[in-house]
Structure 1
C-alpha cells in the first residue's frame, strides 16, 4: 500500500482521485491549498503527490523544491485545468513525473498512478541496496544523492556516460566512481585531458604510432585507446577536442576500431567511454564547433553535477574532510575549524566550486601551520568580506537603523566596502530579480507575452526565473 497526497482545491477531482486510489489499495490524503499541502507532507511519508497548479494561495509549482527535499523523495504528477507548454517545461525540468491536463479519464488516472508508484518502488529498492564505492565524494545533500543514484544506475550497464557541470565540481571523481562500481573495476582507468592535448599530436596520443611514422617518432608508442582496452576511457573536457579529430573519434566510438599512425591495419579496443565537459555542447553544435552526431553518441546517459553553492550542508563536511587530509599530507597536527570560519565559507558563492574550496583551505592552513584552529583571519580577504557583509545585512534586516540628523559624517573609507567584482555581481543579480518581478506582474504571468516584452527566449526566461526562485503562473495565451 502506497501513500498518496492530493493537493487540489477542486472537490470533484479530489473525490475522483480519492476513489481510484482507494480501488488500487492505496491510502490518500487531501489538501486544498499550498499551506495545507506543505503541512500534510511534513506529517506524512508520501510516495506520490498529485499537485494542482492553480491553488487559492499560489502556484503549485512553487511547492516542487520542497517536495524534492522530502526524505521519501515522492514522485509528483502536476495536474492543471488549463494547458501551458511553458508551465509543463518548468515542471518537467524541476523533476515532476508528468504534467497532465484535466479532465482525466478513469483509465488515465489508474495508469499514471500505477506507473509512477512502480518507478518509485524500484527507485527506493535500488537506493537501499546499492553500496557505492565513492571514495573522495563527500556529502549527503539531496542534489549529491541524486547524482550518486545516477552513478549506481549507469554503473550496472556498459553504456557511455556524459558528465556535465561547472569547473571544479568533481567530474573526474564521479567518472572514477562509475569505473570502480562497474564490472570493469579491475581493469585500467585511462584519462585523456583534451584541454592539454597538443593539436598536432592528438591522433598519436590517442591511437598510438610506430617508429618513424612522423618526425620525432623514435620508437613505437601505445595509444591511450589501446591502454584502456577492457577498462574505462575517461575523456575530460571533451568540448576541447579539435573538430578535425572528432570524425575519427566518432568512428572509434561506433566501431571500437582505430588505426595507429604508420600502421597498415586497424586495431580494436573494448573500452567503456565516460566523457566530461564544463561547456554547453548543444550550443557548440548549433555554432558548428562540435559535431551533432558525436554529441548524440556521447549523450547516452547524462549526469549533471550541481555547483557547490547548491549543495547545502555539504560545504561543512567537505571543509572538515579537506582540513583533515591537508594536515595529514603536510604532516601537521589536525586543526579545528571555528564556527565563524564556517559561516564565512558558507557566505561565499564559490565560483570555482570544490576545487576552489580545497585550494583556499590549503593556503589557509599553510599560512599558519602551527595554529590549532582555523579562524576567519586565515582566509583570503574576499571570502572574509563576504562573511562580514552577510552578517551586516542580516543584522540590518533584524534591527533597521532609524534616520538621524546627529550622526557624524562618514569616514572616507569603509571596512565592509566589497570588492568591485562582488559588488557588481550582487547588484546585477538584484536588478535582474526586480526586472523579472515587474515583468511577471505586468504580464500577469503570461509566458508568451513575457517573452515578447522582454526579448528573452523561452528557455532563457525560465532559466532566469529558476535562478531567482520565481515562478510563472499559468495562462493559456497572451493577452490581446
Structure 2
C-alpha cells in the first residue's frame, strides 16, 4: 500500500482500534495501531503517515502533549482528535494547535471516513509542493533536514497560526520567521522584531502595549507599543523564554482577546497581528519548573518549527560559504573570492557550536585576512578552525601496508617491525601537522608539544620540506 494512504491510530482502546481499522481499510487505506503515546511516536519515526487518529486520554499522558511533536515532523501528517470526553476547551485548544478536526466517541463511521478522506485529499495535493513555491532567499541549503524545516515554513506561511521557532543559538531563527512573513498574506505589512532578552521587567508592558505621556515617571511622550506597530503584520518575539512570569498573563490575554490598553490610556485598542516566537530554551521544562505558564506555552506553539544545528546539515556548508562570501565581499565593496577545496574541507570538518552565526564570522575573518588575494585558503581561517581540522585528521585511521608481505619463514625481528611502524606513523603525523599549520613552525611546535629544535630535526629526518 502506498505511503500516501497510511493512517496511524493512537488509542489505548484496542477494540476501538480494531473497529476503526476494519471500517476504514475498505477505502483502500493502510492502518497501523499504537496503544500508547510512546509507541505512537516510535511508529511515526519509522514511517510516513498522512493521517493520525489521536486519542486524548492515553495511559502514558495527554494526547495534546503529542500533538506538537506530530505536527513538527517534516511530513506533518494531519491529526484528527478522538476522545470520549465532552471537553470543549480541549477541542478548541487542539484546533489552535494544528489538529485537522475533533470527533467525540461514540462517532459515526461514515462521519469519520469523510473527515479522513478530506484530510488525505488535502495532504496529497500539497505533498512535495510546499517548498517549490516558497520564496526562500534567506534560507540556503538543500539537505534533507533543512527541507523538512522549509516544508513546515511553507505550511505555516499559508495560515495564521502562532508559530514557535526552536533551535540552538545562531541557527537563524529570525530568518525563518522573516521567511514565513514574506510568504504569507501579511507580507506587505510590517515585520516587527522584539528581543525579549533585553527587556527590563518594568518596561515590558510599555514596550508591548505602549504608553501615554505621564503614565509613569520617565514617560515624557506617547509611545506606540510593538503590538500596535504589528497591526496587520507579524510580531516576532525572539528569546520568548526570557519573558518574566509576571508579564506572561498580560500577554496571554492579548493573544486570547486581541485587545489591549496602553499604559495610562482610558480606551482599549485592538490589533490584528500574526505572532511568531523563538527560543533556544526548553519551554516544556520551564513549564514543569513553574517558570513559564502552561497555557501561554500551548498558545505559542500551535505549530513548532525546529531548526537543525549546522553540524547536522553539513552538506549545506559549501553553499552557505559561497553565499556569504559573495554577500560579505559585496558589502566590503571588494571582488568576490573563490574558495579552495582545502578551505571548504576545513569548514565542513568543523562542528560549529555557534552554528551559522559562527560560520559567517569565520568567513568574514578569512576575507579580511585574505583581502588582497583572489582565492581563500585554509591558512586564512582562524587558528581554532585550523586546529580543529588538524585534530580530526589525526583521529583518522590511515591504512598501513602489511609489514609481512612476502615473508614466510624469514620473518623480520620485532624491533624492525616496531621501528618501521614508528617511522611511518611519525612521518604521516608530521606531514599532516605541517599541512594543517601551513608550515608555521611555532604552531606545529605548540600542537605537537615538542621543542622547536626537535621539530626541525624531525622534518630533516623525514625529508619534509619547510
Q: TM-score, normalised by structure 1?
A: 0.63
SS at match of 2:193: strand
Q: For 1:243-293, what per-residue CA distance to the aligned partner results, in whole angstroms no more than 9, with x for missing partners?
A: 111111111111111111111222111111111100000011111111111
Distance in 1 separating the partners of 2:49 and 2:141? 23
Distance in 2 separating the partners of 1:173 and 1:282? 24
Q: For 1:5-56, what per-residue CA distance to the aligned partner results, in whole angstroms no more than 9, with x for missing partners?
A: 99xxxxxxxxxxxxxxx99889xxxxxxxxxxxxxxxxxxxxx999xxxxxx
The 1:76/1:382 distance shift into structure 2, 3 A limit, reads farther
Residue of structure 1 equivalent to 2:447: 415
The 1:115/1:390 distance shift into structure 2, 3 A limit, reads farther
CA displacement at 1:135 relative to structure 2? 1.9
Residues paired across the two proteins, number: 349
Residue of structure 2 equivalent to 1:144: 146
Residue of structure 2 equivalent to 1:124: 127
CA displacement at 1:63 relative to structure 2? 12
Distance in 2 separating the partners of 1:224 and 1:5? 44
User: More deviation in 345-354 or 204-213?
Assistant: 204-213
SS at match of 1:328: helix
Counterpart pick for 1:303 among 301, 305, 310:
305
Residue of structure 2 equivalent to 1:427: none
Residue of structure 2 equivalent to 1:333: 335
Residue of structure 2 equivalent to 1:248: 250
Residue of structure 2 equivalent to 1:434: none
Q: For 1:306-361, what per-residue CA distance to the aligned partner results, in whole angstroms no more than 9, with x for missing partners?
A: 11111131111100000000111001111011111111111111011111100110
Distance in 2 separating the partners of 1:295 and 1:272? 16
Distance in 2 separating the partners of 1:114 and 1:256? 34
Counterpart pick for 1:234 among 215, 233, 236:
236
Give yes or no for the alignment of 1:163 onto 2:165: yes
Distance in 2 separating the partners of 1:146 and 1:251? 33
The 1:239/1:210 distance shift into structure 2, 3 A limit, reads same
The 1:5/1:263 distance shift into structure 2, 3 A limit, reads closer
SS at match of 1:398: coil
The 1:416/1:167 distance shift into structure 2, 3 A limit, reads farther
Q: For 1:422-462, what per-residue CA distance to the aligned partner results, in whole angstroms no more than 9, with x for missing partners?
A: xxxxxxxxxxxxxxxxxxxxxxxxxxxxxxxxxxxxxxxxx
RMSD: 4.2
1:211-290 alignment, distance < 5 Å: 211-290=213-292
CA displacement at 1:416 relative to structure 2? 5.8
CA displacement at 1:161 relative to structure 2? 0.6
Residue of structure 2 equivalent to 1:374: 376
Q: TM-score, normalised by structure 2?
A: 0.65
The 1:115/1:367 distance shift into structure 2, 3 A limit, reads same
1:173-192 alignment, distance < 5 Å: 173-192=175-194
* Long gaps (5+) in structure 2: 7-24, 33-40, 52-59, 61-65, 79-108, 404-413, 431-443, 450-466
Q: Contact 2:138–2:179 at 8 Å: present in 1 too?
A: no
